Amino acid sequence: MKYLDEYRDPVLARRLLDELRATATRPWRIMEVCGGQTHTLVRQGIDELLPAGMRMIHGPGCPVCVTPLETLDRAVVIAARPGVILTSFGDMLRVPGTRTDLLSLRARGADVRVVYAPMDAVRLASAHPDRQVVFLAVGFETTAPANAMAVLHAARLGLPNFTMLVSHVLVPPAMTALLQDPACEVQAFLAAGHVCAVMGWREYEPIAAHYRVPIVVTGFEPLDLLEGILMAVAQLEAGRYEVENQYARAVRRTGNTAAQDAVRRVFRVTDRSWRGIGHLPSSGLELAQEYSRFDAARRFRVDGLRPAEDAECIAGAVLTGAKLPTDCPAYGTRCTPRHPLGAPMVSSEGTCAAFHAAGRTRTRSTT
C-alpha cells in the first residue's frame, strides 16, 4: 500500500486545503469530468471541505451512464438470439434497458458473460467457432485502444464469428457542448487523468483558450484532486486559462501515440447520442470501413426499437451537473444500487452510486 498511502496522507491533505482557502477569494465552480474522480471526492468528503461557496460540479464522465439506451436495448435483443454469446464488462449488465437488463436476460437463459478485457471475447470466439461472440464496446478514449487491439487481433486470426457493438464516446466534444450551454456554470475543469494518459492534452488547449477556462489534467487519489483543484483555482484567481498537468507521473502532452495509432486504424469519428445528454456531433467512435465486418450492428439487424427512459430518472441533469442525485425524488427510495432506475446508480463511476455509497441525504437544488 506504500504508493496509495502517499497519495492519501492526511497531513498533506490539510496543508493543501489550507493553501486552497488562502488562495480562493471567490466561490468558484469547478467540474471534475470523470466519474472515478467524483467517487473519490464524495467518498473522502473533499467536496464538503472546500472554501465557503466553492463548489464541485460532477461531470458526465461515467461511460456506463452515457451509453445510449438504444445501444443497451440492441444488446439485449442480440443476446436473446440463439447461438449468440454476448460479452461485456460487468458494469453494463445491471444498467436498466427499456424492458429489461442483461443480467435479468441471463437469468432467463441467455448466454451473457462478463469479461475483463475485449481480448477475452476474441479468445471465446476462437474457442467457439459455432457461436457468434459479440463484445459490447463502450467507454471513453481509455477503453478504445484495447478494443482496437481486439479487432486487429480478430482480423489477424480471420475470425468470422467475432463482432463488436460499438458505442465509444469522446471527452472534448462533451466539454465543448457543456460550455456552449448558456446555463453552464463551469469555470474550470479537472480533466480525467486516464483519458489524457492515452490522448495527451493537446486537444484541450484550444478549448481552454477559446472558452477561457483553466483545464487541469488530474489524477484520482485524494491528494491528486486537492492539488488539481488548487491549480485550477490559482489559474482562475490569476486570470489565466491554460492546460496544466497535475498527473505528471502518468501523463505526457502527446499521450500514448501507439495507442492513438491503433484507435485511428480501427475507428473513425462519428456523431453519437449520449444517454441523458442528447446528440453531440463528432463525439464518438465507430468502426472504420475496413473493419466494418466486425460491426455487430451491421451483422445483427435490429429494427423497431423504441427506447424509453424511466419517467422519474433525472440522469441527464445529474450528468451535466445541473442537479445533484439528492435532488432526484427517487434517490435512495425507489432508486437504490439494488434496484436502480437509471445508469448513474449502477456504475462504479456513477454520481448517484457515489452519493449513495457515501450516505449523502441532504437535498439541495443546484439550479
* Nearer to ligand SF4 among residue 59 and residue 340 (C-beta): 340
Residues numbered 313 to 352 that lie near ligand SF4 (CB under 6 A) are 313-315, 318, 325, 328, 330-331, 335, 340-342, 344-345, 352
Least distance (Å) between residue 65 CB and ligand SF4: 8
* Nearer to ligand SF4 among residue 59 and residue 325 (C-beta): 325
**Does 277 sit near ligand SF4 (CB under 6 A)?**
no
Least distance (Å) between residue 37 CB and ligand SF4: 18
Please give, one letter per residue, the 3-state secondary structure of the chain.
CHHHHHCCCHHHHHHHHHHHHHHCCCCCEEEEEEHHHHHHHHHHCHHHCCCCCCEEEEEEECHHHHCCHHHHHHHHHHHCCCCEEEEECHHHHHCCCCCCCHHHHHHCCCCEEECCCHHHHHHHHHHCCCCEEEEEEEECCCCHHHHHHHHHHHHHHCCCCEEEEEEEECHHHHHHHHHHCCCCCCCEEEEEHHHHHHHCCHHHHHHHHHHCCCEEEECCCHHHHHHHHHHHHHHHHHCCCCEEECCCCCCCCCCCHHHHHHHHHHEEEEEEEECCCEEEEEEEEEECHHHHHHEHHHHCCCCCCCCCCCCCCCHHHHHCCCCCHHHCCCECCCECCCCCCCHHHCCCCCHHHHHHHCCCCCCCCCC
* Nearer to ligand SF4 among residue 215 and residue 318 (C-beta): 318
CB under 6 A: which stretch of 5-13, 103-111, 132-140, 307-315 binds ligand SF4? 307-315
> How far is Cα 222 from Cα 246, in angstroms, rounded to an integer?
12
Least distance (Å) between residue 344 CB and ligand SF4: 4
Least distance (Å) between residue 320 CB and ligand SF4: 12
CB under 6 A: which stretch of 16-24, 116-124, 132-140, 312-320 binds ligand SF4? 312-320
* Nearer to ligand SF4 among residue 169 and residue 330 (C-beta): 330
CB under 6 A: which stretch of 74-82, 191-199, 202-210, 311-319 binds ligand SF4? 311-319
Least distance (Å) between residue 210 CB and ligand SF4: 31
> How far is Cα 303 from Cα 220, in angstroms, rounded to an integer?
41
**Does 64 sit near ligand SF4 (CB under 6 A)?**
no
Least distance (Å) between residue 328 CB and ligand SF4: 3
* Nearer to ligand SF4 among residue 213 and residue 317 (C-beta): 317
Measured from the Cβ of residue 19, the count of other Cβ atoms closer than 10 Å reads 15
C-beta separation of 137 from 244 below 8 A: no
Pick from 18, 48, 181, 312: which binds ligand SF4 (CB under 6 A)?
Answer: 312
Between helix 144-157 and helix 118-127 the angle, nearest 10°, is 20
Least distance (Å) between residue 350 CB and ligand SF4: 7
Least distance (Å) between residue 111 CB and ligand SF4: 28
Residues numbered 230 to 249 that lie near ligand SF4 (CB under 6 A) are none
Least distance (Å) between residue 332 CB and ligand SF4: 7
How many residues interact with ligand SF4 (rule CB under 6 A)?
Answer: 16
* Nearer to ligand SF4 among residue 58 and residue 272 (C-beta): 58
C-beta separation of 55 from 26 below 8 A: no
**Does 60 sit near ligand SF4 (CB under 6 A)?**
no
Which positions lie near ligand SF4, rule CB under 6 A? Answer: 312-315, 318, 325, 328, 330-331, 335, 340-342, 344-345, 352
